[in-house]
Amino acid sequence: MTATPPEPVGDSASRPAVAPETATVLAGRERNGAALAPTIVTSSTFVTPSVAEGRRLATSTTSDSFYGRYGNPTVNDFADAIAVLEGAEAARAFSSGMGAITAVVLGLCSSGDHIVTQRQLYGGTQLLFQGACPRLGIDVTFVDGTDPDEWAAAVRPGKTMLLFAETPANPRLDLVDLEALGAIAGPMKVVDSTFATPLGQRPLDFGIDLSLHSATKGIGGHNDVSLGVVAGSRELLDWIWGFAVLQGANASPYDAAGGLRGLRTLGVRLRHQSASASQLAAALEADPRVAEVRYPGLASHPQHDLARRQMRLSGGQLTFDLVGGVGAGERFVESTRICRLAPSLGGPETLVTHPASSTHVGLLPDELAAAGIGPGTIRMSVGLEDPDDVLADVRAALDAIDADGSSRADAHG
Ligand SMILES: Cc1ncc(COP(=O)(O)O)c(C=O)c1O
């Protein structure tokens, strides 16, 4: 996988293709002059030089100096950097991952349209498909995302507007076969690639039309921005822009600068997190108090071969189920000391979440079961600490559960 650095890094004809890690350092500098670090353009409005130019800017999907909701130099630099990394013609940044997702879904679909998505999804996205879409007359079919045949069989020719996938999926790290999805003719194919980051996989290389991220996560990388981004063809991004300027979920320039700052170190962070997560996943798999470990880099992951085909790095996210069940899961996330109980991922701090009571709390019991989320399911976002310290912390928390007997009580309850 190679990417081409953006202007003004030399003359385009002689520009060499560079590795993605190099592109994270070079990209998104077009509007930044000589400053190395991102310049935050705070203005929410810009002086228009003439009526004619104002008319042009008010209708231009690429304008960055007309009105903040339409575009902003810092925000557009961030979006352009993601376009380079995704191998896309264009990208647009949003105020959150959900801002990006709603812009894609509501910008491209109308009443009477049909969407196919998977049962394994981030809880917020699932609620959008279960609640807002049907309310607006958009019919949604949920399939098992791991089965390419289910995706293809659910398509209604002439009706299905979008296939919306998430891979790796939150929280059980189920994968969608990008090549098989990309080969389905007719609907537009959208992939939420948040867990992988642009360095972990590039959906557009597999025939996917739009790749999107909650850049609040690994791209921002420091738990200090709220940001989303969508990358794809100029034509599709122009359609989305038409809705997005009315939706008003535009990214803040402060957060976009944080996103650019995060991108510069994404390569080293993701490599460290992938290596640490591999080590922790292997250690947890050998622990009898853990029933199952899900990590794409583990040979035991049911789609390990697929992970090797479509992912460059396995990432920092892993999920495991405690033998103890109900009380054990909640007790575990309250017992760790280095791993913090917080609902996000991709940052420097190792975070643990209990999906059944947090990210997926809005789901009904049968929906939780369908998504493979049990009371003892723990999602872990591995940070930048020494993995030996994290493992010691996890083992101490498991010891604490053993000592207070909650796992034994649950086993009988
Ligand atoms: C896979 C995935 N997509 C989208 C989102 C939503 O992102 P945000 O919180 O930035 O709106 C999340 C949040 O956890 C997520 O995990």
Rounded Cα–Cα distance for residues 169 and 175 (Å): 6
Distance between Cα 351 and ligand 1 center (Å):
15
For 242-282, the pLDDT digits (tens) are 999 999 999 999 999 999 999 999 999 999 999 999 999 99
What does the pLDDT look like over 126-156, one tens digit per residue? 999 999 999 999 999 999 999 999 999 999 9
pLDDT value for 8: 37
**pLDDT tens-digit readout, 111-125:** 999 999 999 999 899
Tell me the mean pLDDT in the region 46-70: 95
Does residue 6 lie in a domain region? no
Q: How do residues 87-97 score in pLDDT, each as one tens digit?
A: 999 999 999 99
Q: Say whether pLDDT at 3 is over 50.
A: no
| Res 11 pLDDT > 60 | no
Overall size of the chain counted in residues? 413
Protein residues whose CB sits closer than 6 Å to any atom of ligand 1: 96-98, 122, 124-125, 166, 170, 192, 194-195, 214, 216, 226, 228
Q: What is the pLDDT of residues 149-182, one digit of tens each?
A: 999 999 999 999 999 999 999 889 999 999 999 9
C-alpha–C-alpha distance, residues 225 and 346, integer Å: 12
Residues 354-361, mean pLDDT to the nearest whole number: 87
Evaluate whether residue 359 is within a structural domain: yes
Domain co-membership, 245 together with 358: no
Model confidence at 12: pLDDT above 80: no
Q: Do 223 and 306 belong together in one domain? A: no
Which DSSP letter does residue 145 get? T
Query: Is the domain of 180 the same as that of 37?
Result: yes
Residue 49 lies in a domain: yes
220 Cβ contact list (under 8 Å, min separation 6):
227, 255, 258, 259, 262, 346, 347
What strand order describes the sheet that includes 139-143? 90-94, 228-232, 210-214, 188-192, 160-166, 114-118, 139-143
The SS3 assignment for 353 reads strand
Give the other-Cβ count within 10 Å of 403's Cβ: 9
> What is the band of 6 on the pLDDT scale with cuts at 50, 70, 90?
very low
Among residues 264, 293, 318, the one where a domain terminates is 264
* Residue 73 shares a structural domain with residue 164: yes
For the residues 278-303, what does the mean pLDDT come to?
A: 97
- The closest-lying atom of ligand 1 relative to the alpha carbon of residue 98 is 11
Supply φ then ψ for residue 91, to 5 degrees: -155, 155
Domains identified in the chain, total number:
2
**Is the model's pLDDT at 332 over the cut of 50?**
yes
Q: Ligand 1 centroid vs 343 CA: distance in angstroms?
A: 10
Q: What is the pLDDT of residues 306-317, one digit of tens each?
A: 999 999 999 999
Return the closest-CA partner of residue 198 out of 243, 258, 259, 253: 259
Q: Is residue 78 part of a domain?
A: yes
Read off the pLDDT band of 103 (50, 70, 90).
very high
pLDDT value, residue 405: 63
Question: Best mutation site among 166, 172, 194, 230 for ligand 1, i.e. most ligand atoms within 8 A of its Cβ?
Answer: 194
What are the φ and ψ backbone dihedral angles of 32, each rounded to 5 degrees? -105, 10
pLDDT at 9: 36
CATH number at residue 87: 3.40.640.10
Beta-sheet strands, E only, within 90-148: 90-94, 114-118, 139-143
Tell me, yes or no, whether 343 and 205 share the same domain: no
What are the two backbone dihedrals, phi and then psi, of residue 392, each rounded to the nearest 5 degrees? -60, -40
Angle, alpha carbons 204-209-215 (nearest 5°): 70
Whether the bond between 203 and the residue before it is cis, its omega within 30 degrees of 0, is no
Q: What is the DSSP letter of 2?
A: -
Q: Which two tokens stand for residue 303?
A: 């789609």
CA–CA distance, 6 with 9 (Å, rounded to integer): 6
Task: State whether residue 285 is helix, strand or coil.
Answer: helix
CB contact at 8 A, 381 and 347:
yes
Catalytic residues: 69, 122, 192, 217
CA distance 28 to 26: 7
Phi, psi of 213 (to 5 degrees): -140, 145
Whether 67 is in a domain gets the answer: yes
Domain match, 170 and 280 both: no
Residues whose CB falls within 8 Å of the CB of residue 348, separated by 6 or more in sequence, listed in order: 221, 222, 223, 269, 383, 384
One domain for residues 67 and 208: yes
**Res. 13: pLDDT tops 90:** no
Q: Is beta strand 290-294 parallel, antiparallel or unpaired with respect to 317-322?
A: antiparallel
CA 148 distance to own-chain centroid:
21
Mean pLDDT of all residues belonging to the chain: 93
* Site to substitute for ligand 1 among 217, 255, 359, most atoms within 8 A of C-beta: 217
What's the average model confidence in pLDDT over 367-387?
A: 92
Beta pairing class for 210-214 and 228-232? antiparallel
- Tell me: do 334 and 201 sit in the same domain: no
Is the pLDDT at 66 greater than 70, yes or no?
yes
Query: Residue 361's domain spans which residues?
Result: 268-412
Closest CA to 339 of 142, 101, 348: 348
Asked if pLDDT for residue 207 goes beyond 90, the answer is yes
Is the predicted pLDDT of residue 4 greater than 60, yes or no? no
Task: Supply the residue whose CA is at minimum distance from atom 14 of ligand 1.
Answer: 344
Residues 341 and 249 in one domain: no
| pLDDT given at position 34 | 96
One domain, residues 303 and 346 = yes
State which of 264, 293, 315 marks the end of a domain: 264
* Cα–Cα distance for residue pair 22/137, rounded to 1 Å: 45
**Residue with the larger pLDDT of the pair 2 and 333:** 333
